[in-house]
Chain A
Amino acid sequence: MNTKLRVSEISKIYPGCVANDGISLEFGSGKIYALLGENGAGKSTLVKILSGVVRPDKGEVFLNDKSIKLNSPLDAKKNNIGMVFQHFNLFETLSVFENLSIDSDKKNEDLRLSVNNILKKYNFKIDLDIPVLNLSAGQKQKVEIIRCLIRNPKVLIMDEPTSVLTEQETEDLFVSLKQFSDEGILIIYITHKLKEVLSLCDEVAVMRKGKIVSVSKTKEEKIETLANKMVGENLSSIKKKINNFKYSEEILKISNLNFRSDDPYETNLINLNFSLKKGECLGIAGISGNGQSELFQILSGEIITDYTSIKFRDKEISKLNPRERREYLMAFSPEDRISQAAVPELKIYENVALNNFKSSNFFEKGLVNEKKIKEHSKKILSNFSVNTDNVEMKSQFLSGGNLQKLIIGRELITSPELLVCFNPTWGLDVGAINYIHETLININEKGKSSILISTDNDELLKLSDRICVIYKGKLSKIMYVNEVTPEKLGILMGGGSID
């Protein structure tokens, strides 16, 4: 059966921001549609309108030429619109089957039958009776998909589904999505990853600043053309020079680093060994939750594990706290911009003062030297092109990209010998990502080293000289970037081994 979904003149205005500005689109079954755009382009708002979570200020949604009202997620379900959100809505401690039965009105026996049929039909391998917390991210996503399939959806909307998946799981997902599409389910695929659009989708609509800027067949598009449409300007993409650092001085040495946590939600680190050369960027890949956060905190000194495992320029620094490590010209940019790297309620210059290195003289004889901090902050704002020059402004008014520029700037303005950064471009738009990437390549060219812990493989392949993968607290062997492929990374990230 054919399904036609049409949105007409949809507008949604939030205070200070037009999220959707007169959006009209048409979708027909049998095809996979990509909705592409940067963060903040309005994709999520449109999707939320289609799934009944948000009500539009203006405009209508038509399903098979009939106007439908989507006032709640329940309405969306009634109209057979299924939605898999980026963040899973599952009860971790309940079993898979219990999770599925919660919002189903079928009898348990019937439900089990139909779920088993779905499992068989699409070759999903999931044990229905184990708690959800034992599932991998890919399996959890399948549970969410099954939840939609039970209701025989006409439309299936996937919101950034691959952000938590490994390469292999992504491929599996694409196979399933194509199968659904062949069976006549209309699929709308939201993403900001260009490669996925090209490999999976038939048509692509690009959104920018709340408007649709182009609708086209993916066959006619290339990565560059889509990227430019998405950002609205021509992006220069810089490339890193290949260097093997054979004769460079060793700057950081980690030997036999172990970490045992009392907290069941933290990951233990097991016998890590690596070293870093001057001017080198070491990338650490992995699916989030495999020990990256613990490793970052140990490198920054927020967690002290032992007194012998970290040597920086031949000095033992294992027992120093973050402030003391900064004296040795180390710098740190944590993953969490809003609640760790900076405090949104503080003014810009106060956030700058968080990096209180010795020569800064921010605090003389225990007193705050406001003038000095403000001068220093102004320098960061202009050197790192943050789009304000008002150091008295509260940081919460900075966009994610500008806040990250401020943080990276704060860390880099001291010309540190080593920068450790964790997902530095997470959640940023393409323009800001480009800027951060350029900055990170720049510091390597100036002979400064960096460790890049990231869950974004493209970023790792672009910026690193050598790459390794962290899986369940263990590091894989370290490879030069030219011998690494996304496939190899995917296998290692999923716990497999290569060669």
Chain B
Amino acid sequence: MIKIEKRNDVSPSIYFLTPILAIFLTLFGGGIIFYVLGFNPLEALKFFFITPISDLYGFSELLVKATPLCLIAIGLSFCFKSNNWNIGAEGQLIFGGIVGGGVALLFYGHDGFYVLPIIILSGAIGGMIFAMIPAVLKTYLNTNEILVSLMLVYVAKLLLDYLVVGPWSNPEGFNFPETRQFSESARIPVLFDGLRIHAGIFITLITVFLSWLILYKTYLGFQIKVSGLSLKTAKYAGYKGKTMIIIVFMISGACAGLAGVGEITGPIGQLHRNISPDYGFTAIIVAFLGRLNPVGIIFASLIVALTYLGAETAQIFLQVPKYTGQVFQGMILFFLLGSDYLLFFKIKFLGLKKNEL
């Protein structure tokens, strides 16, 4: 007979070490998969995790990918910490991109230092408004925010599709589904010539710092923490539950919107159908891998960003599809949830003692 019991005391150090364990298990699991596919596992893993960042360009690419992941995951941590399950960061990212992109097209041909801040701000506001839809529906109509936020992802995707094919498509673009390239004034400057790493990384770092401040040092952060642990207690303490749901969704949506506008004004430079390789969904993994802790999320975003790069390198060198990256992301989440389960519960094997009767 197997019996599952809850563990009462989980030490904080082990709580933060299990994500690292999950990463090692993922490497091990990945090695097995490569072996089954007929590759030398160590060599394949090297192509996947070391080759991509073995030069400066690769390292810059890593940061380019980690920037939006970290930003979105930080925003999501506000939601997840307070028991609000915002699964639609991808939609908020796209909608932020649409709004920011629209403003960028509006300023097409304009010069001036004010252009870029306005675009970035409008992107953040776009994501924020889009995230408020599930929040308001949850607070006033009792809908399930998981479903609403998830379904809104497809709304945002289809809207983007329509815009880049229809009204916003590049008049000189031979009917390609994309907008004009934004003008120079609407682009986030790159930090080094020849590398794609851009100033958006500073927005991310500032957001991380502000989040840490809010979550750990302010009354709002305390209220978020208490509501996340026990809604009943939050109510008893007199916290305004509905307002708080809307605030965390707004923060989360703004972060996703920032990530979206950062992508289109940064590395992409225009709107097209695929402005995000599912950053909004992958960021959920980043948030949990980083234990919803701002510093943890920085490290987690770097590791998950590496799976994106690794998949591209593996595609070139090993001729495996780039979706291998998603396999690795899935494995990370799987092993993380698995080790969490064992962290919080213990499994007891009780021998069958029928013969004692």
> Which residues of A are at the interface with B, using a C-beta cutoff of 8 A?
69, 71, 75, 300-302, 321-326, 332, 334, 336, 339-343, 345-346, 350, 353-356, 363, 366-368, 396
The A-contacting residues of B in range 72-110, CB under 8 angstroms, are none
Cβ B353 vs Cβ A332 within 8 A: no
Which chain B residues border A350 with CB–CB below 8 Å?
Answer: 222, 225
Given contacts A322-B236, A323-B239, contact A368 B218 (CB under 8 A): yes
Minimal Cβ-Cβ distance residue in B for A353: B222
Q: Is the CB of B240 within 8 A of A69?
A: no
B239: which A residues are within 8 A, CB to CB? 323
Q: How far apart sit A336 and B218, CA to CA, in the bound complex (Å)?
A: 27
A71 touches B236 (CB 8 A): no
Chain B residues with CB under 8 Å of A336's CB are 232
B residues less than 8 Å from A326 (CB atoms): 238
Determine the distance from Cα of A368 to Cα of B216 in the docked complex, in whole angstroms.
Answer: 8
**B238 partner, pick from A324, A346, A396, beta carbons under 8 A:** A324
A302 near B219: Cβ-Cβ < 8 Å = no
CB < 8 Å: which of B221, B229, B356 contacts A71? B356
- Tell which of B235, B239, B353 has the most Cβ of chain A within 10 Å: B235
**Docked complex Cα distance between A449 and B314 (Å):** 74
Min CB gap B115→A, angstroms? 33
Nearest-Cβ distance from residue A393 to partner chain B, whole angstroms: 12
Residues from chain B with Cβ under 8 Å of A368 in the complex:
216-219, 221-222
Contact yes or no, B238 A367, CB < 8 A? no
Contact A343 B233 (CB under 8 A): yes
User: How near does chain A come to B13, taking the closest CB pair, in angstroms?
Assistant: 15
From known contacts A324-B238, A354-B226, A367-B218, infer whether A69 and B357 are also in contact, taking CB-CB under 8 Å. Answer: yes
Given A367-B217, A367-B218, A368-B222, decide whether A355 and B237 contact each other with a Cβ distance below 8 A: yes
20 pairs of residues in contact across A and B, judged by CB atoms under 8 Å: A71-B353, A71-B357, A323-B239, A324-B238, A326-B238, A339-B232, A341-B233, A343-B226, A343-B230, A346-B225, A350-B222, A354-B226, A354-B237, A355-B237, A356-B219, A363-B218, A363-B219, A368-B217, A368-B221, A396-B8
Indicate whether B220 reaches chain A with its CB closer than 8 angstroms: yes
C-alpha spacing A466/B233, complex, angstroms:
30
**Which residues of chain B are within 8 angstroms of A354 by Cβ–Cβ distance?**
226, 233, 236-237
Apart from A69-B356, A336-B232, A366-B218, list 15 A-B contacts with CB within 8 A: A322-B235, A326-B238, A334-B236, A339-B232, A341-B233, A342-B233, A343-B229, A345-B229, A353-B222, A354-B236, A355-B237, A363-B219, A363-B222, A367-B217, A368-B218
Q: Tell me if A366 and B219 are in contact (CB < 8 A).
A: yes
Q: Are B237 and A322 in contact (CB under 8 A)?
A: yes
Contacts of A353 in B (CB 8 A): 222
CB of A301 within 8 A of CB of B233, answer: no
Q: How far is the CB of A344 from chain B (nearest CB, A)?
A: 9
Residues of A within 8 A of B237 (CB): 322-323, 354-356
Collect the chain A residues with CB atoms within 8 Å of residue B226's CB.
Answer: 343, 346, 354
Residues of B within 8 A of A342 (CB): 233
**CA of A331 to CA of B71, assembled, Å:** 41
**Closest residue on chain B to residue A325 by CB atoms:** B238
Q: B interface vs A, CB < 8 Å?
A: 8, 216-222, 225-226, 229-230, 232-233, 235-240, 353, 356-357
CA of A302 to CA of B231, assembled, Å: 11
A321 B240 Cβ-Cβ under 8 A:
yes
Judge whether A340 and B230 touch: CB under 8 Å.
yes
The residues of A that contact B232 with a CB separation of less than 8 Å are 336, 339-340
Asked whether B222 lies within 8 Å of A340 as measured between CB atoms, the reply is: no
Chain B nearest CB, measured from A57 CB (Å): 14
User: Shortest CB–CB separation between residue A356 and chain B, in angstroms?
Assistant: 7
Q: How far apart are the CA atoms of A301 and B356 in the complex, in Å?
A: 58
Most buried by A among B221, B230, B238: B238
- Shortest CB-to-CB span from A189 to chain B, Å, is 29
Rounded to whole angstroms, the CA-CA distance of A353 and B353 in the bound complex is 51
Chain B residues whose CB sits within 8 angstroms of the CB of A323 once the complex forms = 237-239
Provide the residues of chain B in CB contact with A345, threshold 8 Å: 229
Q: How far is the CA of A431 from the CA of B357 in the complex (A)?
A: 43
Report chain B residues within 8 Å CB of A363: 218-219, 222
CA distance A143 to B205 in the complex (A): 64
When chains A and B are docked, how far (Å) is the Cα of A336 from the Cα of B233? 10
How close is A2's CB to chain B, nearest CB, in angstroms?
Answer: 25
> When chains A and B are docked, how far (Å) is the Cα of A341 from the Cα of B226?
11
Question: How far is A343 from B230 in the complex, measured between Cα atoms in Å?
Answer: 7
Contacts of B222 in A (CB 8 A): 350, 353, 363, 368
B222 to chain A, nearest CB (A): 6
A346 to B226, CA, bound (A): 8
Min Cβ gap B233→A in Å is 5
Which chain B residues lie closer than 8 Å to A346 at the CB level?
225-226, 229
Contacts of B233 in A (CB 8 A): 339-343, 354
